[in-house]
Amino acid sequence: MGLVVQKYGGSSVADAEGIKRVAKRIVEAKKNGHQVVVVVSAMGDTTDELIDLAEQVSPMPAGREFDMLLTAGERISMALLAMAIKNLGHEAQSFTGSQAGVITDSVHNKARIIDVTPGRIRTALDEGNIAIVAGFQGVSQDKKDITTLGRGGSDTTAVALAAALDAEVCEIYTDVDGVFTADPRVVKKAKKIDWISFEDMLELAASGSKVLLHRCVEYARRYNIPIHVRSSFSGLQGTWVSSEPIEQGDKQVEQAIISGVAHDTSEAKVTVVGVPDKPGEAAVIFRTIADAEINIDMIVQNVSAASTGLTDISFTLPKAEGRKAIDALEKNKSGIGFDSLRYDDQIGKISLVGAGMKTNPGVTADFFTALSDAGVNIELISTSEIRISVVTRADDVAEAVRAVHSAFGLDSDSDEAVVYGGTGR
């Protein structure tokens, strides 16, 4: 019996009852002979509440003190969980990210893990303890300041510890039974996926699926750590994310042609109107955006009208970066040379993901037919080898996701998707 890392999200430990329920599960794993390392998120909506509080004392909280504040959420849950386990007659010790050896760069609020030195965790395990680690946090290598890994970062903590401790599996416990073929909050007939490759999971995460963080899947793929996403509210098998298909009973789970449909309404669209159609224009525009440290997603350039020699360039980016992008472009207006800017935050993105589309002609046509049958207008299109994405009106997204999900035969016969907890905040 090897070492397992279990991660419990905020909705699994939302209150004292939740903490006691989770403690029992952890003790079960220990009784089954595993060495158990647990990564825990802040209780319920604690992180959001701490952010609200910070915004009341400072308009744009950021940096060192903001991280110091946010990491308090995970400290509360880790200590309570250790107490609950002790109360069940088992030994447990809690550790902050820093104590667990999670070393990061010094970019506050979205630090990257650069090393994990889990000496204290090993010792705690060797002494027969269950080790509880605060997720989403670390300590910067140079300044020794406390950092956070960005929202939802506990998943990354779990996978990083699993890699450093050479764990058998990283179990991610959440408030749904696994990864579904679409967001079960939108598609009642979404199906649970038994197995999905790292590649398809990465595309789903990049396309707005929130069940696993992109950075966490990236990390798991790099170190080849199998992830088992499952619910802490049920005893069901969840979804395995790994490099090779798993076996279930005596049958091998097959690679699906289409893994799922993801959607994202967190982006906005910027259109630069009246750009001279000559070499170097796109370079200046996107250099301006890059210098403002903004990540963009899709790009579309239209053909120029022959009479004017002017063209429009549109791109999408996180809504939260919209203001910054507009300001940066306005400031450089004479350098770039354009007529005006248009900003639209009422857009949504729908993506179809699956390695099978490489070898199955017609997937693209079926996708567009489904959207057209649903009366959904398409504004932008982008593709990769294993994904097609379109931008539509935000209001059309739910309908479009359901239409595409049905068209590709992904609907389950029963309503198997259960959302057990969480306020979705």
The annotation status of 173 as a binding-site residue, yes or no, is: no
Q: How far is the CB of 154 from ligand ASP (least distance, A)?
A: 3
Has 7 been labeled as part of a binding site? yes
Is 174 known to sit in a ligand binding site?
yes
> Which of positions 59-98 make contact with ligand ASP (CB under 6 A)?
73
Instruction: Name residues whose C-beta falls within 8 Å of residue 191's C-beta, 6 or more positions apart in sequence.
Output: 180, 181, 410, 411, 412, 416, 417
Residue tagged 């269950």 (tokens): 130
Q: Is 409 exposed, middle or buried (0-12, 13-18, 19+ CB in 10 A)?
A: exposed
Q: Does 10 bind ligand ASP (CB under 6 A)?
A: yes
41 binds Mg ion (CB under 5 A): yes
Selection from Mg ion, ligand ASP, none that 260 binds (CB < 5 to 8 A by kind) is none
Residue 21 binds which entry of Mg ion, ligand ASP, none, with Cβ cut-offs from 5 to 8 Å by kind?
none
Q: Taking Cα atoms as reference points, which of 169, 197, 196 lies closest to residue 180?
A: 196
- The residue written with tokens 């997603």 in the block is 297
Does position 10 interact with Mg ion (CB under 5 A)? The reply is yes
CB of 4 to Mg ion, least distance (A): 21
Among Mg ion, ligand ASP, none, what binds residue 178 when CB lies within 5 to 8 Å by partner kind?
A: none
What would the two tokens of residue 105 be? 């760069």
Q: Between 102 and 401, whose beta carbon lies closer to ligand ASP? A: 102
Query: What minimum distance in Å lies between the beta carbon of 214 and ligand ASP?
Result: 13
In the complex, minimum distance from the CB of residue 104 to ligand ASP, in angstroms, rounded to a whole number: 14
Q: Quick check: 110 binds ligand ASP (CB under 6 A)?
A: no
How many C-beta atoms lie closer than 10 Å to residue 57's C-beta?
8
Give the nearer residue to Mg ion in terms of CB position, either 27 or 179: 179
Q: What does the per-residue mask of binding to ligand ASP show for 147-186, with x meaning CB under 6 A?
A: ----xxxx--------------------------------
- For the bound state, the minimum distance from the C-beta of residue 224 to ligand ASP, rounded and expressed in Å, comes to 22
Between 101 and 135, whose beta carbon lies closer to ligand ASP?
135
Among candidate residues 215, 195, 218, 214, the one with its CA nearest the CA of residue 206: 214
Q: Which residues are annotated as a binding site?
A: 7-10, 47, 74, 174-175, 185, 210-211
Q: Which residues are annotated as a binding site for ATP?
A: 7-10, 174-175, 185, 210-211
Contacts with ligand ASP by CB under 6 A lie at: 9-10, 41-42, 47, 73, 135-136, 151-154
Contacts with Mg ion by CB under 5 A lie at: 10, 41
